[in-house]
Structure 1
C-alpha cells in the first residue's frame, strides 16, 4: 500500500468530518451569537440563557441533517470498502 493512498484517505476522511461537524455546529454558533448580542444589549448576564436556544437548534439540526450525514458516511465507507482490493494489490 502506497503512503500517498493512505494520505489521500486521511484527507478525505478529515474533510468529511469537518463538513459534517460544521454543518451541525454552525447553526448553534449563530444562535449563540444572536443570544449573546441580545444579552449585551439588554445587560442580562445570565449564563444559562444561551443553553436552551442552542440546544433546541442543535437538536433541530441533527433531526434535519441526520439523513444527509448518514448517507454521506455510508457512501464514503461503501466506496472505501469497494476500493480496498485495488489499494492492497
Structure 2
C-alpha cells in the first residue's frame, strides 16, 4: 500500500475485501490486514512512522505469531512496479 494512504482509505479497502474473502471461504475473524509499502519497506519488518495510525503487528510479526498462518499463505498486492535492468 502507498504509505501516504490515509486510515479511512485503508478501512475502505478492508471493507471491500472482507465480503469477498468471506464469500470464497475465508473466516473474517481469522483474516489479518497489514498496511505495507514493499517499495519503501514500511511495516514489513519494522513498524513505520509513515503509517503512524497503525499500531498492530508488522507483516513479519503477523506471520510469525501463528505458524499455521504460513500454510496456504496468500498475499494480495494493490499494485506492482518493475525496475528496468534489475
* TM-score relative to the length of structure 2: 0.30
Kindly name which structure, 1 or 2, has the bigger radius of gyration based on alpha carbons. Answer: 1
* TM-score relative to the length of structure 1: 0.29
Normalized per residue, which structure has more helix? Answer: 1
